[in-house]
């Protein structure tokens, strides 16, 4: 069995199973810890949002240019980005301390999400609430479809989602490399039909990663892995939700540009 989420895969659960003793992972426990991580991310996101939206005092008035407002919070956003990356890698390689590192990851990602969301909101009023609603609406609908059996996680589905996610990662990686040579991949960042179509594809792949995450958390519960894996499972879901939200936000921005 495979999942394209690097935090959640069958090998992880198989390795941890041999260390299980005492209490084991439960589905309700994982859900509770996911809610804790979401609350932590919301807390720091709200803080950075308020900091960005608050006008800074200037000579001759309180109106602050957008550029100056963004400059005030960029150190926090960049710090959250690198902090989240480090916490994420530590969580993946030291799963037994996920109860510490996963909350740190959520707090750091909240800084990134809050800062990026506020910047998008200033340019496209109302876009953030739409992105949040679509993200959690997608989560709820896919969870219901998965629990009802409408979506069955087969080996072919796993393989397809893994391959598609890997291809998207390669496209983003090469885009980043080419940007250093002044060669932009316009279909990634423009607002044309091809760019919007690509974003729709990425959103769909990110959404189906949630289904794979549900399945592998369920597998971990059935295998009786240690209790701390609840934090690890919650962390894996957060990784996918952050990706899904960011892609939906980008898609909505592209659609606004076409109006």
**Coil, helix or strand at residue 22:** coil
- 107 falls in which pLDDT band (50, 70, 90)? very high
DSSP assignment of 103-161 equals HHHHHHHHHHHHHHHHHHHHHSTTHHHHHHHHHHHHHHHHHHHHHHTSS---HHHHHHH
Each residue of 13-41: pLDDT tens digit?
Answer: 556 555 555 788 999 999 999 999 999 99
Cα gap 231→218, rounded to integer Å: 14
Residue-range domain boundaries for the chain: 10-257
Please give the pLDDT value at position 64. 47
Give the DSSP H or E segment for 220: helix 193-223
Percent share of the chain, pLDDT over 90: 59
pTM of the model: 0.86
Query: Does the pLDDT value for residue 186 go beyond 80?
Result: no
Residue pLDDT, tens place only, 155-174: 888 899 989 999 998 988 88
Calculate helix-pair angle for 193-223, 10-17, nearest 10 degrees: 20
């Amino acid at each position: 069995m495979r999942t394209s989420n690097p935090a959640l895969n069958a090998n992880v659960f198989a390795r941890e199973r041999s260390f299980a003793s005492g209490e084991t992972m439960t589905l309700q426990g994982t859900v509770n810890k996911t809610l804790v991580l979401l609350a932590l991310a919301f807390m720091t996101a709200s803080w950075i949002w308020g900091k960005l939206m608050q006008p800074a005092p200037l000579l001759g008035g309180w109106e602050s240019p957008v550029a100056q407002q963004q400059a005030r919070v960029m150190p926090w956003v960049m710090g959250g980005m690198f902090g989240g990356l480090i916490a994420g890698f530590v969580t993946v390689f030291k799963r037994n301390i996920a109860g510490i590192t996963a909350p740190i990851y959520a707090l750091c990602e909240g800084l990134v999400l809050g800062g990026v969301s506020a910047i998008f909101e200033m340019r496209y009023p109302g876009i953030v609430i739409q992105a949040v609603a679509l993200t959690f609406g997608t989560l709820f609908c896919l969870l219901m479809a998965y629990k009802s059996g409408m979506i069955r996680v087969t080996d072919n589905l796993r393989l397809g989602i893994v391959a598609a996610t890997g291809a998207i990662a390669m496209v983003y990686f090469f885009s980043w490399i080419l940007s250093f040579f002044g060669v932009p991949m316009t279909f990634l960042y423009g607002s044309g039909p091809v760019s919007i179509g690509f974003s729709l594809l990425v959103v769909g792949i990110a959404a189906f990663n949630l289904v794979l995450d549900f399945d592998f958390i369920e597998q971990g519960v059935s295998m009786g892995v240690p209790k701390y894996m609840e934090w690890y499972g919650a962390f894996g879901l957060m990784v996918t939700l952050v990706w899904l939200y960011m892609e939906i936000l980008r898609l909505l921005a592209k659609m606004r540009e076409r109006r």
